Amino acid sequence: MLDLERLRALHSVATYGSVSAAADVLHVTTSAVSQQLAKLERETGQKLLERNGRGVRLTDAAQLLVEHADRILSLVEQAQADLEAHRGAVVGQLTLAAFPTAARGLLPAALTSLATDHPGLRVLTHEVDPLQSMPLVARGDLDMAVVQDWDNELLPLAEGLQKGPILDDVADVALPPGHCLADRERIELKELAGDPWISSAADTICCNWLRHTLRGIDAEPRIDHMAYEIPTQLALVSAGLGNAILPRLGRCDVPPNVAIVPLEPALTRRVYAIWRAEAARRPAIRAALAALRAVAATL
């Protein structure tokens, strides 16, 4: 009989392209993955990996086995979810990712609530941008993720995932000292066309959205500075280096010389949780979503 953990090791090598990458995902050593694969080769009587330059290549036999492993691992997850649902207890381990402002604005209170109400559940959290967290959930590396998209740019839901809304979040514009529109009650984004901007890094959903939004008002984006952390972005705004979009969720202290002005029409993003369809019956998934929604309702 095929060993499940050995199938998982082969599946990870196929998914991530190397033994070392699979080891990182599985949180084991490369030696441990190699040993699992060697045992799987002996079990199947087939060669599964071949040298390919400095890396490895899956043989035809391995590719066939990986196709079955996809279905097997999915069925195992579904069985685990059904057993947890039958038991009705919120127990076990849940890996949860969130983008930075959600990690700051939602997770602390939600995790505290989960720890109090469900002491048998261990939640492991990671701060991950939605562009990276969605494929990680789809592949099974994360159980759940809090992601976002915007009214004018939706985030396509990967196949096999389900989602549940948490809240709608409004974003304002942060203007540097002396900006000519700083004393306005509201600003249209097109009035800021041509201004320098500060945003998160180029590989994040927020930076992509800002480029898309500015181009939508016929303003070629001038993003002069990029920083992951909102406090860093605000420090750059405070220094007079550009404007920044500032969501209200998880808003940190704003420097006194920075003006926060609402936009007209309002810029709104949807914040929601995603999980694999096979895991939908897990009480831990439902409990985490309920905790996140409860925190959002107090904001």
Give the CATH number, domain containing residue 113.
3.40.190.10
Task: Give Cα 234 to chain centroid, integer Å.
Answer: 23
pTM, two decimals, is 0.73
Per residue in 233-247, pLDDT (tens digit) is 999 999 999 999 999
Mean pLDDT, the chain, rounded, equals 87
Task: Identify the weakest region by mean pLDDT among 78-87, 221-230, 256-265.
Answer: 78-87
> In terms of domains, do 150 and 97 share one?
yes
For residue 182, pLDDT over 90 is answered with: yes
> In terms of domains, do 235 and 181 share one?
yes
> In terms of domains, do 279 and 158 share one?
yes
**pLDDT computed for residue 244 by the predictor:** 95
> In terms of domains, do 172 and 262 share one?
yes
> In terms of domains, do 156 and 175 share one?
no
For residue 86, pLDDT over 60 is answered with: no
The domain of 26 spans 4-85
Per residue in 90-110, pLDDT (tens digit) is 888 999 999 999 999 999 999
Number of domains in the chain: 3
> In terms of domains, do 141 and 277 share one?
yes
CA atoms within 13 A on the CB side of 144: 25
CATH number at residue 29: 1.10.10.10
Residue 297 tokens read as 């309702």
Q: Of the residues 30, 57, 85, which one is the last residue of a structural domain?
A: 85
Per residue in 44-54, pLDDT (tens digit) is 887 887 777 66
Given a contact cutoff of 8 angstroms between Cβ atoms, the answer to whether 295 and 110 are in contact is yes
For residue 84, pLDDT over 80 is answered with: no
**pLDDT computed for residue 32 by the predictor:** 82
For residue 136, pLDDT over 60 is answered with: yes
> In terms of domains, do 188 and 257 share one?
yes
> In terms of domains, do 109 and 229 share one?
no
> In terms of domains, do 263 and 274 share one?
no
> In terms of domains, do 116 and 98 share one?
yes
Q: Of the residues 85, 102, 120, which one is the last residue of a structural domain?
A: 85
> In terms of domains, do 28 and 49 share one?
yes
> In terms of domains, do 198 and 159 share one?
no
